[in-house]
Structure formats: structure tokens, C-alpha cells
């Protein structure tokens, strides 16, 4: 059952975006912006117009599409407002490159006409009650603008294994009418292209880079362009501005390892059980040999029994899967149906694995007993040999090693995820909500002042970006006085309340304030990392140029994790640009005040922005969403690895029981010769201690290597120390000491005469 679940999960993760026609030819154009201070790769483009025009002329590009995400869009239906957050605007080529299934509509006309709207099946059901929505209209409300859009197509809901999702797509002219600039002029546009099948992507990259350097922006020379295969995005991209939260290839490969470990453990345990049972059937085998059964006949019967048992186990496994799918979907955050588990490829893989497992598991006991002499078999004696002893030792070492490796990796993964949630980010995200900002100038100031009149609301601030809730920010060119060097800094537009609301300390100098009129014109704040990058000892009062204006540093703030913990803290510059403050953050006093505050905020919202639906998000919830894949993987990995550990422990218990049972005669003789139970225990302890030491020597380097690269993918991570492996080692040691003690004491306590007599 475990392997079936794991293989389905892995198959699904590896299938992302493969449903697109010729998906291996589709690439996303990404941008790396670099300078003296920072080098950052973005999934989207910045001011893409010139590059888009240049790419159109490349002969190897068969097709290309540019699209941008909407913010919150309000849809008006019979005077009722609905907020939609998952929409995009795209050109006519969008549905030519991407193979999203069309349920209704003319595939030749989609998105080609002005005010066109393509919606998904779920959106059609939501607003029209059926998928027969062609020709229907929806009113899009954006601030004081309204556009009537006509539905020209209905798509099947976006597959789960797509690296981006949407509920609707508008023609690109709608975006221009709402935001007053074209898609290729915005910094959050995403560009995809389909290359000819015989083209080398790196050659196309070189042509694109050359076009940029020769174009109007080439004088800055601060961008590099990269083509990322669409099939590579979900598991291997950590670019800023991703369309959704990606998974990590580390987790997928570790799940594959766990699945094979579980299969291997099943084989080991089955061999142990089959061998023990076959020894109990020694007399039966002796009689069959005496009656003329050959070695091949006996071996074949063992193999057939073994294969039938494993096939029966597979059938039981699928039955358990059928019952367990709801629970698996809950912990994996997927929506699998049973039909996906019985996919022909999955069935063939599992059947092949089971048949192989049956063969491997049946071969050893078949060969061990079928070659013994009839006289030994009829006496119920299995004569050991050195090769068998070596095999048993190897299997015990393997079981020990697997248990230690899985236990330790699980411990590291859990500790790192806990570290993420418990780390001091350098800012306060609790009891803070964010709303999209539709107001400007005096209206915005009046809105904020009215909010703070409520005693439950402590602070209100407007800004361009909110810390810790996304993997993107603006990038600004910074140049200091008297230097030709250009630096690339992350920038955030703020107001005077930004740092106090988020609890970010101004370490030196001062904050911006309305008391100084110059602050809105030529004042900047920077963080400590920026000071280090610029090499300043006394930054206050230093002159720099950014945002097309000369200004002065008035303050330095403490470093804080503006981005996710996968990224280093970048050099940052904070500017006063009210027109760029698209977010409003509201700090609520206590958790008890949240419901009252939300009701009050909604009433104020309706007073100022009556034609827009009120929506909000909690900053701490947004922060947790950045690590959704890690949290999901942690749960899955913990469940399956602990099951594997449990199976391994059962196997070792079986080994111990079997070996102690084989040594009953030896234990009896030692007791007759005066050995105590303590002496017998020490004998077994010493034997297992040697095997355990060998397994430690094998497993510890493997553990270190396996977790080192993953944990280093976080810019902020816990240190890999021996203590992380010490606790799993101690726990495993205690479990097996108890197991050995239990079986040895049981056998050593019986009458030695009976033990010796029964083994004659």
C-alpha cells in the first residue's frame, strides 16, 4: 500500500506540464538582474517590449506568448460583487502554446477580439450554472472603471499537474484599459515560447542576450536572459516571482528512495519469514525428496508459493489504497481518484516490482532447503554454512542502516521545517492583515486615519510590498556619488508607519516623516546589508542616485527576512513613492480584537470604495503558504519513513527471534555448563553491537551527504550537528536492546534439557 501511494505521488510530481502538446519544446524566458550588490533570477520579465519584438524575428521560435497576472478583480453580477484573485490577461497565442482542454468555443477565435473572456468550467458553473456560457457577459469592475467582457470559450479546469493555475483569461486589451499600460510594459509579465525541435536553447539565449545589449536598454547591461524548460519548472525552479509554490526535486527523489527501501525491507522480512517457515517444514521436504521429488521441483514450488503470496499482497494493497485515498489526499494536498492508482503504467510497474520481489524472496529459502540431505531434513535439522551466516549478518546490518538513515533524515527534515516557523524573521507578522490599495493621495490618507480611530487597530501603513509573503520585490539601480559602479538593490516604497507597524528597528539615523517635506523628494533608507555592500562606515547623509533622482540616506534599518528563507537577505533601499503603494497593512491590537476590527475595516472600506468587494489576507498565513510544499513533504515523508522504520524494526525483531530460536541448543548447553542469563545476554549483545557499529559506519556518511545539499538550499538553516543523529541512534539502540533481551531471556529461562533434546 505504501509503495503504491508513493509511486503515484512521484509519478504525478514528475508529470507536471507534460499534458501540453510538444511540452519538451516549450520554454519560459527568465531574467537575471545583477549588479555590484545582488544577482537575482526572476521568473518574469521587466519591461519586456523590446525583447518581445526581437524574439518575434528569431526563425527558431515557432510561437510565443506573453501574459500577466491580475491583482484582485471585482466581477459584478446583478449588482453583487465577487472578488477574483486568479486571473490573467494574455495574447491570442496563449492557448496555442498551452494545451488546456477547450470544452466550448471556437479555438481559432479565442482571445483575438477585444473584451474577450475565456473561463474555466468551475467559473462557468459559479456564474452561469453550466458550461454553456458562450456569448454570456460579465462586468469587470476595477476601481472606477467597468468593462463588459464576453465569454468566448470555456476550458476544462486546469489540471492539478500544471505549474500555474487560473480561473479566467482576458484578452490583453482589457489589461491595458484597466491598468493603462500594455502587458509588455509591466514588470510582472511572463513570457513563454515554443522552439523548433532541432534547436539548442543556449544558442537562442545568446541571440536574445545580444538583442538586449543592442537595444535601448542595453546601455545598463544589468540583465541576463535564460530559457528554462517548462518541464523543469515545478521541481527545480526557485526563481523569484513564481506563479505558484513549487516542489523540490529532493523530496521527490527521497520518496523514490523510501519506496524502494520499503520494497527491500519487505523482501528481507519475507525471506526471513519464509526461511523460518521452511525450516519448520523440513520433515515435509524430506518426505517429498524421499518420494522422488527433485531439487528443481522443490525449488519451483517454493517460488510459486512466494509469487502467489506477493501477488495476493498486491491485491490487498490496492484494497487498502481504495480505502486510504481520502486520508492520503488530505496529507498530500492532492485530489487523486482510484482510477489514477490503477493507471496502466502504474499497474505494470507495481506488478513487475511484486513479481521481482516474489522471485527474490523465494529463491533463498528454496535453494537453502532443497539441497540438504534427506536424513538431515527428516531429523528436522537445517545445517548452517558460512555463506548463510554472512547473508544473515549482511541483512541485519542493512536493516540497522536503513532504520538509522530514515530515522535521522526524518529528524533533520522536521527540525528544519520547525526552524523555519520558529526563526526570528526580524519583523512582526502576527495580527497583521493586508488589503489591496485602490486609493491615492488625500483619499488614502483619510482612509488610514479613519481606520486608526478604532481603538482595536494600532497602526496602518501603505507600501508597495509586504515583507515575508512573496518571493519577489522590485529591483532598483543604485549609484553612489563619485563612482561609476552600478548596484542592484531590492526596493520597497513605504510610508512613515511601515517600520513601526512591522516592528523593524531603525538602527541609525531616522525614519522618514511627514515633518520633513524633503523626505518625499530625496530621502532614502537602506538596510545593514546595503551598508556592507556599499562599504560605508558612516552611511547617514551619504548621497546616492536611484529611481531617477539624487537623494540622501537618512536612516539604516536592521536586516530582516523580506523574502523566503530560501534567499539571502538582499541589500534593500526604501523610498517614498506614494503612487507605488499598492498594499495597505493593518496591525490589530490583540487576537480577541480581530473579528471586531475586520467588521469595522469592511464598513470603512465600503464607505470609501463602494464598488469593490472587501477582501483581506493575514500576513502570517501568507508566510506559511511559502513553505506549503515543505510542510506537505514533511508530513508525507514522516508518515512513510516511520512506516519504513516500523517495518525495519519488525524485520529485526523477526531476525532476532529466528536467530535466538536457532541457538536454543547452544543456549541450553551454555546453561548446563554454568552460564547465567546475564552471560547469555552479554554474548548476544556483543554480537549485535559489532553489527550495529558497522551499520553506523555505513549510515552516518550517507545521512550527512543526503541532507547536506537539501538543507543548504535554504539560505537560513539549522547547523548539521552530531546531536541530530544522536537521538535517532539512541532510540534505535534502545529498541533493539529491549528486543534482544526479551527473546534471549524467554529462551534462556526454559529448561536447558528440553532445548537440547528438541534440537537433537
Given a cut of 50, whether residue 722 has pLDDT beyond it is yes
Tens-place pLDDT, residues 84-137: 889 999 999 999 999 999 999 888 778 989 999 999 999 999 999 888 899 999
Tens-place pLDDT, residues 232-250: 999 998 888 888 888 888 8
Quick one: pLDDT at residue 746?
76
Instruction: Report if residue 622 sits inside a domain.
Output: no
Mean per-residue pLDDT for 502-527?
88
For strand 506-509 and strand 543-546, is the pairing parallel, antiparallel, or unpaired?
unpaired
Quick one: pLDDT at residue 282?
62
Residue 229 sits in the same domain as residue 255: no
Q: Using an 8 Å Cβ cutoff, are 456 and 589 in contact? A: yes
Residues 6+ apart with CB under 8 A from 479: 485, 486, 487, 544, 545, 546
Q: Using an 8 Å Cβ cutoff, are 536 and 542 in contact? A: yes
Instruction: Report if residue 426 sits inside a domain.
Output: no
Residue 600 sits in the same domain as residue 703: no
Residue 318 sits in the same domain as residue 366: yes
Which residue, chain included where needed, has cell 511559502?
Answer: 626
Instruction: Report if residue 107 sits inside a domain.
Output: yes
Residue 201 sits in the same domain as residue 314: no
Nearest to 633 by CA among 474, 417, 479: 417
Tens-place pLDDT, residues 607-616: 998 878 888 9
Residue 700 sits in the same domain as residue 591: no
Domain end call among 581, 611, 641? 611
Maximum average pLDDT range among 268-277, 303-312, 451-460, 679-688: 451-460
Which residue, chain included where needed, has cell 523530496?
Answer: 251
* CA max distance for the chain: 108
Residue 650 sits in the same domain as residue 599: no
Instruction: Report if residue 453 sits inside a domain.
Output: yes
Q: What are phi and psi of 550, to 5 degrees?
A: -85, 140
Quick one: pLDDT at residue 432?
94
CA gap 192, 68 in Å, rounded: 12
Residue 476 sits in the same domain as residue 588: yes
Instruction: Report if residue 432 sits inside a domain.
Output: no
Total domains in the chain come to 3
Tens-place pLDDT, residues 248-286: 888 888 888 888 888 877 777 777 776 666 666 666 667
Mean pLDDT of the chain: 83
Domain residue limits at 322: 249-421+628-758
Quick one: pLDDT at residue 365?
65
Q: Decide which of 145 and 121 is more confident.
A: 121
Tens-place pLDDT, residues 375-414: 554 455 444 444 456 767 777 788 788 888 888 888 888 8
Instruction: Report if residue 476 sits inside a domain.
Output: yes
For residue 429, give the C-alpha cell: 507578522
Domain end call among 236, 262, 293? 236
Q: Decide which of 288 and 319 is more confident.
A: 319
Given a cut of 70, whether residue 17 has pLDDT beyond it is yes
Residue 487 sits in the same domain as residue 602: yes
Residue 259 sits in the same domain as residue 198: no
Residue 105 sits in the same domain as residue 225: yes
Residue 131 sits in the same domain as residue 49: yes
Instruction: Report if residue 431 sits inside a domain.
Output: no
Interhelix angle 386-422/677-712, rounded to 10 degrees, is: 50
Domain end call among 558, 577, 611? 611
Residue 181 sits in the same domain as residue 327: no
Instruction: Report if residue 427 sits inside a domain.
Output: no
Amino acid at each position: 500500500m505504501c509503495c503504491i501511494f508513493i509511486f503515484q505521488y512521484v509519478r504525478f510530481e514528475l508529470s507536471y506540464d507534460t499534458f501540453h502538446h510538444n511540452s519538451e519544446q516549450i520554454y519560459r524566458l527568465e531574467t537575471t538582474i545583477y549588479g555590484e550588490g545582488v544577482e537575482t533570477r526572476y521568473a518574469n520579465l521587466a519591461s519586456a517590449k523590446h525583447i518581445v519584438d526581437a524574439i518575434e524575428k528569431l526563425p527558431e521560435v515557432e510561437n510565443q506568448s506573453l501574459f500577466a497576472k491580475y491583482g484582485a478583480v471585482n466581477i459584478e453580477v446583478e449588482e453583487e460583487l465577487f472578488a477574483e484573485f486568479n486571473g490573467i490577461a494574455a495574447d491570442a497565442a496563449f492557448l496555442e502554446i498551452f494545451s488546456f482542454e477547450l470544452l466550448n468555443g471556437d479555438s481559432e477565435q479565442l482571445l483575438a477580439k477585444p473584451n474577450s473572456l475565456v473561463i474555466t468550467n468551475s467559473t462557468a458553473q459559479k456564474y452561469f450554472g453550466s458550461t454553456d456560457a458562450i456569448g454570456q457577459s460579465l462586468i469587470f469592475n476595477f476601481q472606477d472603471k467597468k468593462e463588459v467582457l464576453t465569454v468566448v470559450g470555456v476550458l476544462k479546469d486546469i489540471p492539478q499537474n500544471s505549474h500555474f493555475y487560473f480561473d479566467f483569461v482576458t484578452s490583453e486589451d482589457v489589461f491595458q484599459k484597466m491598468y493603462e499600460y500594455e502587458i509588455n510594459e509591466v514588470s510582472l509579465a511572463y513570457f513563454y515560447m515554443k522552439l523548433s525541435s532541432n534547436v539548442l536553447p543556449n544558442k537562442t539565449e545568446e541571440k536574445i542576450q545580444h538583442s538586449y545589449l543592442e537595444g535601448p536598454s542595453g546601455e545598463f547591461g544589468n540583465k541576463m536572459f535564460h530559457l528554462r524548460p517548462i518541464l523543469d519548472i515545478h521541481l527545480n525552479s526557485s526563481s523569484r516571482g513564481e506563479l505558484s509554490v513549487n516542489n523540490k526535486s529532493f523530496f521527490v527523489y527521497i520518496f523514490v528512495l523510501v519506496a524502494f527501501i520499503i520494497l527491500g525491507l519487505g523482501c528481507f522480512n519475507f525471506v526471513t519469514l519464509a526461511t523460518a517457515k521452511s525450516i519448520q517444514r523440513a520433515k515435509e521436504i524430506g518426505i517429498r525428496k524421499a518420494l522422488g521429488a527433485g531439487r528443481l521441483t522443490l525449488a519451483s514450488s517454493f517460488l510459486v508459493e512466494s509469487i502467489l503470496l506477493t501477488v495476493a499482497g498486491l491485491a490487498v494493497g490496492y484494497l487498502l489504497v481504495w480505502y486510504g485515498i481520502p486520508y492520503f489526499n488530505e496529507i498530500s494536498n492532492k485530489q487523486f481518484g482510484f482510477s489514477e492508482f490503477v493507471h496502466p503504467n502504474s499497474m505494470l510497474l507495481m506488478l513487475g516490482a511484486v513479481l521481482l520481489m516474489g522471485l527474490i524472496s523465494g529463491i533463498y529459502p528454496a535453494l537453502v532447503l532443497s539441497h540438504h540431505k534427506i536424513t538431515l531434513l527428516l531429523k528436522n535439522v537445517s545445517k548452517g554454512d558460512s555463506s548463510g551466516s554472512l547473508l544473515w549478518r549482511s541483512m541485519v546490518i542493512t536493516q540497522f542502516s536503513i532504520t538509522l538513515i530514515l530515522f535521522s533524515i526524518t529528524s533533520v527534515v522536521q527540525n528544519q521545517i520547525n526552524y523555519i516557523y520558529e526563526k526570528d524573521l526580524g519583523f512582526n507578522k502576527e495580527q497583521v492583515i493586508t488589503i489591496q490599495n485602490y486609493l491615492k493621495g488625500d483619499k488614502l490618507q483619510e482612509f488610514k486615519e479613519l481606520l486608526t480611530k478604532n481603538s482595536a487597530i494600532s497602526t496602518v501603513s501603505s507600501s508597495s510590498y509586504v515583507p515575508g509573503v512573496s518571493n519577489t520585490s522590485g529591483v532598483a539601480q543604485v549609484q553612489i556619488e563619485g563612482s561609476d559602479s552600478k548596484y542592484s538593490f531590492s526596493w520597497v516604497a513605504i510610508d512613515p508607519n511601515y517600520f513601526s507597524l512591522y516592528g523593524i528597528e531603525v538602527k541609525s539615523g531616522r525614519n522618514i516623516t511627514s515633518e520633513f517635506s524633503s523626505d518625499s523628494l530625496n530621502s532614502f533608507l537602506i538596510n545593514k546589508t546595503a551598508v556592507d555592500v556599499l562599504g560605508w562606515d558612516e552611511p547617514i547623509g551619504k548621497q546616492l542616485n536611484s529611481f531617477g533622482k539624487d537623494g540622501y540616506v537618512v536612516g539604516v534599518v536592521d536586516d530582516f527576512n523580506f523574502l523566503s528563507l530560501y534567499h539571502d537577505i538582499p541589500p534593500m533601499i526604501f523610498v517614498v513613492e506614494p503612487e507605488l503603494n499598492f498594499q495597505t497593512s493593518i496591525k490589530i491590537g490583540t487576537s480577541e480584537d480581530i473579528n471586531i476590527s475586520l467588521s469595522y475595516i469592511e464598513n470603512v472600506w465600503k464607505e470609501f470604495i463602494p464598488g469593490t468587494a472587501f477582501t483581506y489576507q493575514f500576513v502570517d498565513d501568507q508566510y506559511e503558504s511559502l513553505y506549503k510544499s515543505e510542510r506537505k513533504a514533511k508530513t508525507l515523508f514522516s508518515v512513510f519513513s516511520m512506516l519504513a522504520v516500523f517495518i525495519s524494526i519488525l524485520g529485526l525483531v523477526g531476525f532476532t527471534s529466528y536467530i535466538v530460536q536457532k541457538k536454543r541448543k547452544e543456549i541450553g548447553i551454555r546453561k548446563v555448563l554454568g552460564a547465567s542469563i546475564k552471560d547469555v545476554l552479554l554474548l548476544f549483545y556483543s554480537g549485535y553491537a559489532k553489527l550495529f557499529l558497522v551499520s553506523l559506519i555505513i549510515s552516518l556518511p550517507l545521512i550527512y551527504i543526503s541532507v547536506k545539499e537539501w538543507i543548504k538550499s535554504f539560505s537560513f538553516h539549522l547547523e548539521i550537528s552530531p546531536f541530530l543523529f544522536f537521538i535517532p541512534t539512541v532510540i534505535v539502540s534502545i529498541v533493539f536492546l529491549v528486543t534482544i533481551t526479551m527473546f534471549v531471556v524467554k529462551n534462556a529461562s526454559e529448561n536447558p534439557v528440553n532445548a537440547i533434546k528438541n534440537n537433537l
